[in-house]
Amino acid sequence: MLVAINTISNKLNVKVNTMLLKDEIKKVQEAMLPQIPEEVLKLLFSKTEELINSGIAERTLNAGDEIPQINLPNAVGKTIDVNSMLKDGPVVISFYRGAWCPYCNLELNALQQILPEIKSLDAQLIAISPNTPDNSISSIEKHGLEFEVLTDAGNKIAKEFRLVFNLAEDLRPIYQQFNFDITNYNGDESWELPIPATYIVNTDGKIVHSFVNADYTQRMEPTEIIRKLKELTVQKQQAIN
């Protein structure tokens, strides 16, 4: 089972095509899920449902909220002041679980594909995970990422966004069987992870759109990110006129 899962995960290194991200995720699930024993799938699904029912997604920062100060190291150790980036335009912030997560890899690839369009709208993109800088470098090189990938050690910033949860203890040996060595990727023994989330932050530091889902297979469509950024551009032009 482990060999099959790793083989499928390695195929995610290729760039996604023009299909919707949800369709790419569905393709991967169709290939990957049949390789997983039924009792394991049942446990994975039940724990995801528990997390959804916990209401964590409803307690996170949302549209209208102001983001906290975000000063985090990038893959080469340079501290990036995200709040200062806002003076140059909106910022898209993507919180992801880690480089070990197949769904996150698909999302990162999809974000890279729309990066030129994000820049054309005078916006910037950053991704944040609890992964150590070394593991962030691995992601950047593997997926050819051209945007900042920041390390949120101990999920300190993710906690301010109220995104953090502890991975259920009965899932930990399963993740290890899949070679998802979270403690190694994060550099601690906490087993804490952020639920995936995408925020679009305006120049005033306030969130204008958020996509947060406790189901880690659900991600904001890149086309929707572009649509929201275009709306901001129109609003800015109307305000000028």
Query: DSSP string spanning 44-99?
Result: HHHHHHHHHHTTGGGGS--TTPBP---EEE-TTS-EEEHHHHGGGS-EEEEE---T
Tell me, what CATH number does 132's domain have?
A: 3.40.30.10
Q: What is the structure's pLDDT at 3? A: 41
What pLDDT score does 143 carry? 79
Contact 187, 164 (CB under 8 A): no
What are the residue ranges of helices labelled H in the chain?
A: 2-10, 21-32, 38-53, 82-85, 102-120, 133-143, 156-160, 172-177, 182-186, 222-240
Query: How many domains does the structure of the chain reveal?
Result: 1
Which two three-digit tokens encode residue 47?
């724990």
Cα angle 122, 57, 227; round to 5: 25
Provide the residue range defining the domain that includes 82.
Answer: 2-240
Helix 21-32 / helix 2-10 crossing angle, nearest 10 deg:
150
Which pTM does this prediction carry?
0.90
Contact 129, 94 (CB under 8 A): no
Q: What is the pLDDT along the chain (241 residues), one digit of tens a residue?
A: 444 444 444 444 444 445 799 999 999 999 999 999 999 999 999 999 999 999 999 999 999 999 999 999 999 999 999 999 999 999 999 999 999 999 999 999 999 999 999 999 999 999 999 999 888 887 788 778 999 999 999 999 999 999 999 999 999 999 999 999 999 999 999 999 999 999 999 999 999 999 999 999 999 999 999 999 999 999 888 888 7
* Inter-CA distances, 224 with 19, 210, 211, 227, 238, Å: 13, 11, 10, 5, 21
* Whole-angstrom distance, CA of residue 157 vs CA of residue 143: 24
Question: Looking at residue 18, what is its pLDDT?
Answer: 53
Looking at residue 60, its amino acid is T
Residues in Cβ contact with 150 at an 8 Å cutoff, skipping those fewer than 6 apart: 70, 72, 73, 74, 80, 82, 126, 127, 128, 129, 136
Strand-pairing partners, residue 31, are none
Count of other CB atoms within 10 angstroms of residue 169: 8
